[in-house]
Structure 1
Amino acid sequence: MEPNVIMKQGRLKLVPAEKKHIIPLAETLSEENIFELSLFDRTPIDFFMEFVEKDDVYVVEKDYVPLAITGVEADGPQTGLMWAMFAKDMQKNWYSFLKASPNLVEFMHGNYYKLNMNILESNERIIKWALWLGFKADAVIKGENVDYVHFVRCNLLKKNVYNLASRPVIH
């Protein structure tokens, strides 16, 4: 495999996010993601500049063209908040991305027992994607103008040392 390529599915590659990805992603970001960023008074450039150099942030590329950016932010002990944003051209590559998605989520689970995701209630395609990947809808977060569906996915193969019920009893 090529250097910096973490995983590959057909012509799609997962690579660490870099500054070189910012402009191409910002220029091709989907309308849904632009709308979501606008809810927080953020521009794509502003958001990507903040997140592109963080740990656990990756880009899905096809022939060196970025199609998605995704990452996990620590959200508590052994818990991470997974997020993803897509370029308009991801639609043309959606089925290849779906094939790669289970491996992507397993990779993202690497440092976390539990992953959370918050998805706009109006974004049906991404909600279906999350459900297909084994995330469970846990709650609806009511906002002023929009609602989010909160999803949870646990990695049952990873031990959760923070699960008090599974700790041994000491007498």
Structure 2
Amino acid sequence: MDHSVEPLIAEADLKQKVTELARRISADYAGKSLLVVGVLKGAFVFCADLLRQFQGVDAQVDFIASSSYGAATESSGAVKILKDLDTAVEGRHVLLVEDIVDTGLTLRYLRDHIERQQPASVRICVLLDKPSRRQVDVPVDYVGFEIPDEFVVGYGIDWAERYRYLPYIGVVRFKGG
């Protein structure tokens, strides 16, 4: 399928926003132990950059992987866990870090999955929020950017495993179809 990728959020803007989010999270969890749960694969770059900016937070990291897209450009709505946490969350403060909240179905599923394990708290941090696509309400505590209903790639986010390497967020534009 013929397509192009047009920049939406520049690398410098991403860096500035990650620093801002890390400062807010660091202030909220100062002196506390925090388990940061990155959602694979899309949030791995964002999660790593966020962790490196924390100050005064005793942070550990784990990852969870789920699937609801496959090679499609729209979520199927059926969420399944591909890799569960290796760390016990009971009694812990958990920060779920996701690349994008779209319909809300995946994020709500993952939040509910973690909450069933009785953490002390669960907060959610997303890089990108697409509110026009929301199907279910899910509370997001930290939001990087609100974006329009476009299919985006870059900064860890892919389309059929492509474009994760881009240092910016871009919009996929399909030609002639």
Q: Normalised by the size of structure 2, how large is the TM-score?
A: 0.29
Q: Normalised by the size of structure 1, how large is the TM-score?
A: 0.30
Q: Which of the pair is proportionally richer in helix? A: 1
Q: Name the structure, 1 or 2, with higher relative contact order (CA <8 Å, separation 6+).
A: 2
- In our comparison, the structure showing a higher alpha carbon Rg is 1
